[in-house]
A and B are shown apart, each in its own frame.
Chain A
């Protein structure tokens, strides 16, 4: 529950950061997550790395990929109509999926890294894997929170999201900040991919689609563009999904998640932590 939630939250951060800076939904983000999982597979089986190295490799690889998609696909469209950027993002996502599919047509099985040790805390039983996932995810989120709220880069990032027009006039290189945003967002997506692949060891090129959308929902629940909101939204969605699976047949999981989203959007269109934008006429 917390495990799934923390993975959603990590991916949601990528959506929300890009949205905050560019007001663009990066539909390819779910596929970056998928590639993170594939990089995890690659480094575990081919390079035979340890878990820590694997995590670093897939985070770094995903970050590189994120920066590249931004540089070659989104940057030329920075000042184009917003829909063309969205369509481009859909295109990039399709490209990543199908390219992976062309290279690896069969689902891959991740070798297990953990022996199923059980930890008992109070009345709760958790596997060490779950604990590790949650600790890592929360750790990454704390690091991100520090970056965003305590460093100069974070200040520039927040400045762009509050007023994109004025920032270049203050001598801040928007391109650099956008690249960094994509690097951080995609890196977190890659980390999520690794954690997910270890927890649910069968990976295929389309796994990013559903998980990506769910993460996107989390970002919206929390209020898209709001970084702490994305974390909250991820945990809420993970919680709701697991509870829905307990109470109803598990095939209803998606219905419940999406219905929740629709109800929330009708009553609170700007998310839980988002602020409603007043429209000036």
Chain B
């Protein structure tokens, strides 16, 4: 991380901690901010697969579900009650790790299939996770998992959102991460040029699912109640909308997309059911007027490391980009 980046990050974290500790913001506003943060984690991690690697994953809600249930089992069933609040970070990381392992397994079909067919594999994965959870009586089956304590606060959400943005950004702009982009542009040419495409895909899926798991853990401990229906296809669709609204292949786009989508849904709440009619219309109009999304393959300058090629691959960004 460049030096110029460090101070803003720490101060944002500090501010969010103060807000949590002293209740500086209305609790409703805090809640919305937390949703925004969780959605940023989700859309940034999904963008890694869908935007940067050019695959079409529809199973992200499945990863989220695994993370949510893993963390809930840990804090409710495994950890002693007195220690659970302190061990919550461990539960979040563990949720991420378990999800990452599953994500790595799901990367295996991606070695052989691409495009629409891989999309269906991920879709099937999401459905299988949901159905299996619905059948597990020990986890509450379709009734859901009750009795989760509220450990998620704004500080944790902000911390993990920044971690996700930071890790994905550093990965994408590393020389190994370049391989991800090369897979999107032309897989055969990439492997001919010496990119180990399998390794790249494995890593991208692992990283992406790790953060989806983390987001699931935060989500579970924010709502204090989870059931399999929360992680169905609608959830995955929601994430896709955030990613494509913001623009594929752009971390900044994912952040903007998640913010706009979440806040807009909240603002339109007075419309009741009609907001769910209005949202898709706006989405379709956006796609027609601006098919690449709001940011569409371009990036905020502060998200581009000091020396490197921009995500368009054409222009070299000099070291004044971040203000080192």
Is A107's CB within 8 Å of the partner chain B?
no
Is A77's CB within 8 Å of the partner chain B?
yes
Which residues of chain A from 203 to 259 have a CB within 8 Å of any chain B CB? 209, 213, 216-217, 220, 224, 249, 251-252, 254-255, 258-259
Contacts of B188 in A (CB 8 A): 279, 281
Query: A266 touching B109 by the CB < 8 A rule?
Result: yes
Alpha-carbon separation in the docked complex, A93 to B274 (Å): 15
A residues contacting the other copy or chain, number (CB 8 A): 44
Which residues of chain B from 248 to 305 have a CB within 8 Å of any chain A CB? 248, 273-274, 276-277, 279-281, 283-284, 287-288, 291-292
Is B120's CB within 8 Å of the partner chain A?
yes
On whether A261 and B281 interact (CB within 8 A), knowing A84-B244, A94-B276, A255-B128, the answer reads no
Query: B112 touching A269 by the CB < 8 A rule?
Result: yes
Residue among B50, B124, B276, B292 having the largest count of chain A Cβ atoms under 10 Å: B124
Which residues of chain B from 223 to 245 have a CB within 8 Å of any chain A CB? 233, 237, 240-241, 244
Query: B276 touching A254 by the CB < 8 A rule?
Result: no
Contacts of B128 in A (CB 8 A): 254-255, 258-259, 262
| A83, A87, A101: the one within 8 Å of B283 (CB) | A87
Query: B237 touching A94 by the CB < 8 A rule?
Result: yes
Residue of A nearest to B245 (CB): A87
Is B321's CB within 8 Å of the partner chain A?
no
On whether A98 and B131 interact (CB within 8 A), knowing A84-B287, A90-B241, the answer reads no
Is A171's CB within 8 Å of the partner chain B?
no
Number of A-B contacts (CB under 8 A): 119
Query: A81 touching B274 by the CB < 8 A rule?
Result: no
Q: Is the interface on chain B under 10, 10 to 19, 20 to 34, or 35 or more residues?
A: 35 or more
The digit string for A59-95, where 1 denotes a CB below 8 A from any CB of B, is 0000000000000010011001101111110111111
Is B211's CB within 8 Å of the partner chain A?
no
Task: Tell me how far the C-beta of B258 lies from the nearest C-beta in chain A, rounded to whole angstroms.
Answer: 15
Query: A262 touching B124 by the CB < 8 A rule?
Result: yes
Is A99's CB within 8 Å of the partner chain B?
yes
Contacts of B109 in A (CB 8 A): 262, 265-266
Residue positions of B touching A, CB distance < 8 A: 50, 56, 109, 112-113, 116-117, 119-121, 123-125, 127-128, 131-132, 134-135, 188, 233, 237, 240-241, 244, 248, 273-274, 276-277, 279-281, 283-284, 287-288, 291-292
Residue positions of A touching B, CB distance < 8 A: 25, 73, 76-77, 80-81, 83-88, 90-95, 98-99, 101-102, 105, 209, 213, 216-217, 220, 224, 249, 251-252, 254-255, 258-259, 261-262, 265-266, 269-270, 279, 281
Some 22 contacts from A to B, beta carbons below 8 A apart, are A73-B284, A77-B288, A84-B292, A86-B56, A87-B241, A88-B287, A88-B288, A90-B237, A91-B283, A91-B287, A92-B280, A93-B280, A94-B283, A95-B281, A102-B277, A213-B123, A220-B120, A252-B131, A255-B131, A258-B131, A266-B109, A281-B188
